[in-house]
Chains A and B, each alone.
Chain A
Amino acid sequence: MPFPILTSIVALPVVGAAALLLVRDEEANERLVRNIALIVSILVFAETLLLWSRFNAASPDFQFVERHAWIPSFGISYFVGVDGISLLLVVLTGFLTPIALLSSWDSVHKRTKAFSIFVLLLESAMMGVFISLDLFLFYVFWDAMLVPMYFLIGIWGYDRRIYAAVKFILYTMAGSVLMLLAILGLAYLHSLGAGGAYSFDLLQLYQLDISRPLQFWFFLAFALAFAIKVPLFPFHTWLPDAHVEAPTAGSVILAGVLLKMGTYGFVRFAFPLFPQAASLFAAPLAFLAVVGIIYGALVAMVQPDMKKLVAYSSVSHLGFVVLGIAAMNTQGVQGAVYQMLNHGVSTGGLFLIVGMLSDRRHTRLITEYGGLKKVTPRLVAVFLIVTLSSIGLPGLNGFVGEFLILLGAFRWNPRFAAFAATGVILSATYMLWMFQRVNYGKVTNEKNATLPDLEPREWFVIAPIVAMTIVMGVVPNLFLRPIEPAVNRMLSQMQEGSPGRVQVSIAPDARDGRRPAATNVIAVTRSRR
C-alpha cells in the first residue's frame, strides 16, 4: 500500500492541534506553542510540495486516490484524490497557513494556544474540502471548517468581531444546508438507478442522468452555497465584515483559501454535475460576476479603511474567477483556476501588509498614513510589488490569470469581456490611489515618522509572497501545466455530458508507466454509452 499522503496532509494538522492540547496553557509556553504550530504547518507544506513533485502533470486523472468504506450502508466512503485543479489549491493552503501563523506572532498574545489549535484545525478542514471525492465527506469538511474560522474571528478579531463572526457562520450555513439537501437528493437519485444502493461517490454521481428540472433545482442549491462563499454579488455582504474584523491571520486564510472553496465548488461540483443547468445559468452567473467586478471596484475606491478596501477588491477579483468559469472554455476555466491561486497570494499579501501597518499604528485608516516611503522604504517596496500584482501588471502573477479569463470570456461572449475589462482599469485606480495616499507625499502624521521598517520575522512572512508573485508571473506554465488536463477533462465531460452522459470509469493506471509514484490513480475516460 502506498503511503497515504493525502490523509496525512489532512491528519497532520489535527495531530499537531492535539499535541498542542497537551501543552500547559501558560505565558511561558507561548514560544513553544508557536513553534510547534509553525513547525507542523511547515511540515504540511512540505508534504504538499512532495505531493506536487510526484504528481503526474500530464494526466487528467485523480491521483493519490485513497478509498475506505466509511458508512457502507449509505454508500459513503472516505474517498480522496487530487487532480490538477485541487492539487494547486492544496499547495496554496499549505503555503499560506505557516505564513498566517507567523504573521500573528506579534499581534496575537491572548490565548495563543487556542489560536494555534484553531488555525491548524482550519487548515485540516480546508485541505479536506479540496481533496474530497465523496460528497458527504466534502460536506463534512465544508461545514466543519466554519467552526474554527468562527472562533478565530470572534475571539481574536477587532471591535465588531462578534457581529462579524455570527454573520459569517449564519450566512455560510444558510447557503450550505440546501446544498446538503441536494446532495441527499443526488444520492437518492443514484439509488433509484442502482437498485436501492446509495452513493455519495462524486465519480459515480457524475454519470447520473438527471432530468432537466431536477438539474435546475440541484444546481440552484449548489450554486447558492458556492455563490455565498465566493462571494458573488449580491451575496457578498458578509465578506467585508468578516475580513475587516478578523485578525490578520484570519483575513489571510479567509481571502487566500476560504473564498476559493466557492469557486472550486463551481468547477468541481456544480458545473460538471449539472451540465445542462450550468449552461442555462452560465449567463446569469457571468452577469452577476461582472456586476460584482465593477461594483466591488467602485465600492473599494471610496473606502477609508485599507482592510475594507482590500475586502471589496476581493469581491471584484473573485468576480473575474466566476466569469472565467462561466465562460466554460479552456482559457476561461484555466485562467479562473490560475486566478484563484493568484488572488490567494496577492490578496493574502495585501492583508499581511495592512496587518503589519496596523500592528505598528493600531489603525487601518488611509488618512492616518502618508509618506511612509521615506520612513519604511523596505515595507513600501514589498507593498508596491504586491499592489502591482493585485492590479495585474504584466510580469507579475495577476496579469496571467486576468488575461486568460478575459480571453476565454471574449471567445464566449465579448460583451461580458468588455465590461469585465473595465474592472482591470478600476482596480488600478483604487489600488494605486490607496498606495499613493499611504506611501507618497510628506509625512503628515508625526506618529508615522518613527515607524520601524520590516523586521526579520516579517521578512519571513512577506518574502515568500513576493517571490511567488514574481515566479507565478514569469513562469506561469509551471502552474498551468497540471491545471490544463484537468480543466479539459471537466469541460469535455460537460460538453459530451448531455444527454448520454460521460462514462467515468475507475481503473488502475496501467497506461502511464512513467510515474510509478502515482500508482493509485482514477482514470476518468470518456466513452459514449
Chain B
Amino acid sequence: MMSLGAWNAIVPMACVTAAAIAAMVAEAFRAPGERMPIGPLGAIGLVGAGISSALLWNHNASSFGVVLADNFGLFITIILVIVGLLSIAISEPTIDRERLPRGEYYALMLFAIAGMMLMATATDLLVIFLALEVLSLAVYVLTGIRRDSPTATEAALKYFLLGAFSSAFFLYGIAFTYGLTGSTRLDRVGSLFEAQATSPTPMQLLAVGLLLVGFAFKVSAVPFHMWTPDAYEGAPPAVTGFMSTGVKAAAFGAFVRVFLAAFYPLRSNWSLIVWVIAAATMIVGTVVGVSQSSVKRMLAYSSIAHGGYLLVALLSGNDLGKGAVLFYLLTYAVTNIGAFGVISVLDNFDRPNDQVRDYAGLWYEHPALATLMTIFLLSLGGFPPLAGFVAKWYVFSAAVKAGYTGLAIIGMLTSVVSVFFYLRVIVMMYMTTTETPARFPAIPRMAGLALVVSAIVVFYLGILPTRVLDWAAASISTIF
C-alpha cells in the first residue's frame, strides 16, 4: 500500500483538478443555450478536497518528497475550499449578467485553487514556483474575463506583465538558492543555510532578497503593490473577492514555509527588510485607501494593508505569529469575500455601483444587504465582537511577544485610519439619501446565502474563536 499512500498528500488538489477538467469537458459538450450546473460541479470537487483534508489531518502525509500535507498546509487548503465555495456562490449572478463563459470561468477558478493548494503544501522551491504559475495564469485570465471591457483588459495585462516580472525574480531566487546549496528542497536548503548562518555570503542574501521580492509581489506588499488596485478594480467583483483572498492565502502559506523554515537561519538578515516592508505596507495601504472614491479600489488598498498585518505576524516568527497568520487568513478570507460579494450583488448591467457615492441610502433600499456590508466592513476595521478584531489582536499579541512594539503601534494606528474609510461607506449607506436612488437588483438566492453564512462565520470567529484558534495553534506545531 506504500505506493498508494504516496499519493495521499495530493488528494485534495486532485479532487479540485478533476472538477476543473470536468467543468471544461462539460462546457465543451454543452449544447448552445443549455444550462448546466457547472458551479455545483465545482462545489462537489471542493467539498471532496475539504473532506480529504479533514481525513489527512494530523497524518503528515507526504507525496514524492515535494508535497507535504501537514496541518499547516491543510489549514490553508481548508481556507481555500471555503474561498472556493463562497466564490462560486457569489459568481453565479455575475456570470449570468455578464454572459461569461460559465465552464471556462469555473475551470479557471478551480485550476487556480488547485495551484493555490499545491503552493500551500509544497516543500520544494521549484514546485512552489510551478504552483505559483498555475494559479497566476488562471487568475490573469479571470481578471480579464470580461473581454469587451477595456478596464478589465487593461487590468489583466497590467497584472500579467507585473506578475511575469515578479515570477522572474522568484525564479532567479530559486536559481541562486540552488547554486548555493545544490538543492531546491526546503529542508535541505534550511540545514545548509543553518551551517553557514554565522557569516552569510552576499550570494545568499541575494537569493533571499530575490525570493522576498517575488513573494512581496504576490502578497501585494509595498512597494510591489502597484498592480493591486488596477487589477482589483478591473476584474468582476466576484473574481476580485476570490483573488484577493485565495492568492493571499496561498502566497502567505508558501511565504511562511520558505522564510520561517528554509531561510530561518538567515533571519537576522531579512527581518529588518521585512520590518520596513510591513510598516510601509500598512501605512501606504491605509493612507492611500482614505482618498479612494471607488469602493473596489478602497478595498484593494485595504487588502494591501491587511497584507501588512499578515507580514507583522510572519515577522514575529514565533508560534503565536504562525498561528496568527492562519487565523488571520481565514477571517480575512471570509470577510473580504463577503464584502466583494455585496459589491457583486449590487453590480448591475448598466451600472457597476462600485463608487462610494453609489451606496447612498442603501440601507433604506436594501436593509439586509446594507447590514451585511456593515458587518463585513466593521470586521475589516477590527471592531469587536467580530472576527477581524480577534485576528488583529492575535497578530499584535505575536508582535508584542516578539518585541516588535513599534510595528504593533504602527499597526494599531493604521487600523484606526482604515476605520475612517470603512466608515465612509457606512456613512453613505445609512446617513445620506439620494435624489435618484440607484436601481439595485434583487439578491440572488445562492449569493444571499453565501453572504449570510459569511456573516455568521464572522460573528462566530469573533465571539467564540477558541476552537479555531486552537486548530490554528495546533497546525503550526507539526512543522517548524
Binding site for B on A (CB under 8 A): 25, 70-74, 136, 139-141, 143-144, 146-147, 150-151, 154-155, 161-162, 165-166, 169-170, 173-174, 177-178, 180-181, 184-185, 187-188, 191
Contacts and interface: CB of A to CB of B under 8 A. Distances in A.
B378 A73 contact: no
A140 B385 contact: yes
Given A154-B431, A155-B431, A184-B400, A140 B416 contact: no
B218 to A, nearest CB: 29
Interface stretch (B36-44, B67-75, B258-266, B401-409): B401-409
Nearest to A182: B400
Contact of B473 (A73, A139, A144, A154): A73
A174 B412 CA distance: 8
B383 A144 contact: yes
B397 interface: yes
Contacts of A150: 423
B288 interface: no
19 contacts: A71-B465, A73-B473, A136-B393, A143-B383, A143-B389, A147-B378, A150-B423, A154-B431, A173-B416, A174-B413, A174-B416, A177-B416, A178-B412, A180-B393, A181-B405, A181-B409, A184-B408, A185-B400, A187-B397
Given A71-B466, A170-B416, 7 more contacts: A73-B470, A139-B384, A162-B432, A173-B419, A184-B400, A184-B408, A185-B405
Given A73-B473, A178-B409, A155 B384 contact: no
B386 to A, nearest CB: 9
Contacts of A166: 420, 423, 427
B147 to A, nearest CB: 41
A173 B414 CA distance: 11
Given A177-B415, A178-B409, A181-B405, A161 B469 contact: no
Contact of B384 (A70, A74, A143, A191): A143
A181 B396 contact: yes
B419 A147 contact: no
A144 B409 CA distance: 21
A333 B401 CA distance: 35
A25 B370 CA distance: 15
Contacts of A144: 383-385
A307 B409 CA distance: 37
Contacts of B405: 181, 185
Specify which of B367, B378, B430 lies most central, judged by the most chain A CB atoms within 10 Å of its CB. Answer: B430
Given A147-B378, A178-B409, A188-B397, A140 B430 contact: no
B471 to A, nearest CB: 11
A181 B411 CA distance: 10
A74 B431 CA distance: 39
Contacts of B423: 150, 166, 169-170
A219 to B, nearest CB: 16
A165 B409 contact: no
B430 A25 contact: no
7 residue pairs, one from A and one from B, having the closest CB atoms: A177-B412, A140-B384, A154-B431, A184-B400, A173-B416, A174-B416, A144-B384
B466 A70 contact: yes
Interface residues of B, number: 30
Nearest to B386: A144
B397 A184 contact: yes
A157 to B, nearest CB: 9
Contact of A71 (B412, B427, B430, B469): B469
Interface of B: 367, 378, 383-385, 389, 393, 396-397, 400-401, 405, 408-409, 412-413, 415-416, 419-420, 423, 427, 430-432, 465-466, 469-470, 473
A162 B431 CA distance: 7
Given A140-B384, A184-B396, A188-B400, A155 B416 contact: no
A177 B470 contact: no
A181 B427 CA distance: 28
Contacts of B469: 71, 73-74
B400 A154 contact: no
Contacts of A184: 393, 396-397, 400, 408
A146 B413 CA distance: 17
A267 B296 CA distance: 45
Contacts of B413: 174, 177
A386 to B, nearest CB: 31
Contacts of A178: 409, 412
Nearest to A166: B423
Contacts of B400: 181, 184-185, 188
Contacts of A136: 393
Contacts of B412: 177-178, 180-181
B360 to A, nearest CB: 12
Contact of B430 (A72, A151, A180, A187): A151
Contacts of A177: 412-413, 415-416
A283 B193 CA distance: 56
Contacts of B465: 71
A161 B431 contact: yes
A136 B469 CA distance: 16
Contacts of B470: 73
Contacts of B389: 140, 143
Contacts of B367: 25
B451 to A, nearest CB: 17
A147 B401 CA distance: 30
**Interface hub of A70, A166, A181, A185 (most chain B Cβ within 10 A):** A181
A177 B408 CA distance: 10
B326 to A, nearest CB: 14
Nearest to B473: A73
Most chain B CB inside 10 Å of its own CB: which residue of A139, A140, A141: A140
A151 B397 CA distance: 30
Contacts of B383: 143-144, 146-147
Contacts of B466: 70-73
Nearest to A139: B384
Contacts of A165: 427, 431
A170 B413 CA distance: 11
Interface hub of B383, B396, B409 (most chain A Cβ within 10 A): B383
A310 to B, nearest CB: 24
A146 B409 CA distance: 21
Nearest to B323: A73
